[in-house]
Structure 1
Amino acid sequence: MTYLSKITSPTLLIDEKKCRANIKRMADKAARHEMKLAPHWKTAQSRIIGTWAKDFGIKELTASSIKMAAYLCGQGWDNIHIAFPFNSLEINKLNELAKNQILSVQLINPITTQKLVDQLTEKVGFFIEIDAGYGRTGVKVSDFGLIEEILRTAKKSDKLYFKGFYIHAGHSYYKPDIPELYEQTRNALGMLKAKYRSEYPHLVTRTGDTPGCAVMEDFGDIDEMGPGNFVFFDLMQAKLGGCSKEEIAVALAVPVVDINKERKEVLVHGGGVHLAKDVLKEPDGTNNFGEVVQLEESGWKISEPSERSYLKSISQEHGIIKASESFLQKVKIGDVIGILPVHSCMTADAMASYLSLDGQTIDHAEGVS
């Protein structure tokens, strides 16, 4: 019995070989630049895939929430960093987890810092998140007054210790000049390290975006990298030059439920609740919510550019494929086809588990009750 025989509804497939190769590639890059790799597990969200990461010497993970950190606790990680401005309403939960797992959090204001000073009962590290141009969150790199207020406040507690500075250059997803953007990141983290190293000799700097970590070869003196999407990659990363389509390690398997040859459209059971609604634009301006691949017993096959088909629209459960002539000639109602996701993090989160090519279910944090 092959994995294909198990699929009757939308199912997220994972190619372990490709996933391991992606992890190895980033681990090798980090080693080449003498950087620590602490991957952001918001993409994979899996304990089993975490064991694959350990095979390549990875000892620390990054999480996007305390819920995810809790799910990852007890798996032997040296540290789990929660890379989201810490929510002070969760201090009790943080204390509980920190009894048995070394944790660090992200701080961007002295108010939350003071609440941690007042309420922490266990030792917890912290990074100060820096905004060097993204504009989503973080302390502006030039706001030394705020940085120092956070540091002064943290010093009031023997439970809260400073680890360093963290930048997520998320604008690398939509700004074409990644080398120029990374010059900002290198300069910002290098300046902060030089300014505060005498007082905090063990401080480290970390960068965390997949596009930059995947394509850059000049990281200056940045100490650590924490990308996440590289574990699977996706069509967005392929467009940015971080991977090829052949390296994308997940595909959504969807059943074909109708075919309209007159309109050259194929209706599949696979919509926004499965893929999320991240979208790319085709050259003619139409939407692309995912690209069709042919499923085989050994995985999936990428179509030639002239034969490419893609999801042109999705609703909650429906997906409509703009079909090429060759795809229309082959596809039948009742077939199961694959869709490469535009944004694998969101697709994995929506699907909450994986099916491996050898028919095994792979865990996901959102699938745990």
Structure 2
Amino acid sequence: MNSTLLENIIKPTLVLDENKVRENIHFMAEKARRSNVIFRPHFKTHQSREIGRWFRDEDVRQITVSSVDMAEYFIKDGWDNITIAFPLNFRQLPQINELAQMINLGILVENIEAIHALGSLDTPLNIWIKIDTGLHRTDIEWNSPRKLKEILDTSEKYPKLNINGLVTHAGHTYSAKTAEEAVQIHNQSIKYMNDLRQFINKPHLLISVGDTPGCSQIPEFSAIDEIRPGNFIFFDAEQLEIGSCKPEQISVALFCPIVASHPERNEVVIYGGAVHLSKEMYIHSDQPCYGLVASLDSNKGWGELLQGCTVTRLSQEHGVLSIPKTMMDLFHPGDLIPIIPVHSCLTAHLMRRYLCLDGHMIDMMPI
């Protein structure tokens, strides 16, 4: 990343290190190969056809998306084995029927109504049953086998519905305070899934899991058949706080212009607010953290994290940085500062494009 490229950044810009992204993809793909499990990465993180093609270099042929629209977007780039990892939206049944005629399509269900609705379509579908292993967002609770059995029994009335297996997102790993705790939650979720499969006596059903904290930290995958992490290609401040990654694995940063400095209260104001970073946060050193501050590096884009420097307040366009008094002289209006987002998936979704270190732009799916 040369000085000319930096000079051309005039507003909040999401900068991407392609080499780091590719390294992160290889890391997860290789672990899946060693463990002999299906690697079906979640593309909602990057939402980009160009980045999606980097997965093909690791022989990935099956993907996960979070919406019908996203499935349509990636189908146009040749992906033909897609799972939509979101509860069935009954209002999009015609679109789902059309997609299922084009590709090998997987749909998630958690109730009998969804089975009846999908069974009324005239196209074969792969069905995954959503299981709640502790996140408590949607899904069938892992210790409610009767409801699961009702769905399985109902599905037998519809020969075009193929029950692939049980799927869970152990998103409560994101509340872990340490990497060890995230691994413990991940492993507990896998145990719940296997206990449930054994209880209903359906050993042929596949087990699919998909949280980045767990998938990143366990040395190998056992007692599961498929993984679906997504955030791991970028990582972010939250993953770093949990211990899911190292600083050098974080592959995106939001470059923001400094617009004001207030030494009297040890604060710096940037052009970069909630519409750029989102309002995802966690508590760091007893105060809210909406992003971490990194040093600027004209060769690598960004360098080490600046200790004690965090984004502590956000409004729509403004970001307020808390800076140690001894470091205030490092920040001047007109300078650029790299911010590591708390949740890179949301920041990418808000920014809609990436500036690579070599200067080329990568577009995302339109919204």
Question: Is the TM value for this pair above 0.5?
Answer: yes
Call closer, same or farther: CA 1:335–1:175 in 2, change over 3 Å: closer
Matches within 5 A, 1:188-267: 188-195=192-199, 201=204, 203-217=205-219, 219-267=221-269
Compute the TM-score of the two structures, normalised by the length of structure 2: 0.93
Q: Residue 291 of structure 2 aligns with which residue?
A: 290
Q: Aligned equivalents of 1:164 and 1:37: distance in 2? A: 15
Q: Which amino acid aligns with 1:270?
A: G
Aligned to 1:20, the other structure's residue is in SS state helix
Call closer, same or farther: CA 1:77–1:289 in 2, change over 3 Å: same
Matched, 1:85 2:87: yes
Call closer, same or farther: CA 1:71–1:197 in 2, change over 3 Å: farther
Compute the TM-score of the two structures, normalised by the length of structure 1: 0.92
Q: Aligned equivalents of 1:303 and 1:184: distance in 2? A: 33
CA RMSD of aligned residues (A): 1.8
Q: Residue 137 of structure 1 aligns with which residue?
A: 138
1:319-359 superposed Cα distances (whole Å, 9 cap, x missing partner): 11112346422322111111000111111111111111111
Q: Residue 146 of structure 1 aligns with which residue?
A: 147
Alpha-carbon contact 1:267-1:321 (below 8 Å) kept: yes
Q: Residue 315 of structure 2 aligns with which residue?
A: 315
1:36 to 25, 35, 38: 38
Q: Aligned equivalents of 1:47 and 1:197: distance in 2? A: 40
Aligned to 1:57, the other structure's residue is in SS state coil
Q: Aligned equivalents of 1:332 and 1:360: distance in 2? A: 28
1:229-265 superposed Cα distances (whole Å, 9 cap, x missing partner): 1010001101111101221111011111111122221
Gaps of 5+ in 2: none
Gaps of 5+ in 1: none
Q: Which amino acid aligns with 1:190?
A: N
Q: Compute the displacement of 1:6 (Å).
A: 2.7
Alpha-carbon contact 1:117-1:153 (below 8 Å) kept: no
Percent identical across equivalent pairs?
Answer: 39
Provide runs of 4+ in structure 1 moved above 6 Å.
none
Alpha-carbon contact 2:145-2:200 (below 8 Å) kept: no
Q: Residue 15 of structure 1 aligns with which residue?
A: 17
Q: Residue 335 of structure 2 aligns with which residue?
A: 335
Call closer, same or farther: CA 1:31–1:254 in 2, change over 3 Å: same
Q: Aligned equivalents of 2:8 and 2:159: distance in 1? A: 54
Deviates more, 1:27-36 or 1:163-172: 27-36
Q: Aligned equivalents of 1:96 and 1:82: distance in 2? A: 14
Q: Aligned equivalents of 1:281 and 1:68: distance in 2? A: 32
1:62 to 46, 61, 64: 64
Q: Compute the displacement of 1:43 (Å).
A: 0.9
Alpha-carbon contact 1:186-1:219 (below 8 Å) kept: no
Call closer, same or farther: CA 1:179–1:265 in 2, change over 3 Å: closer
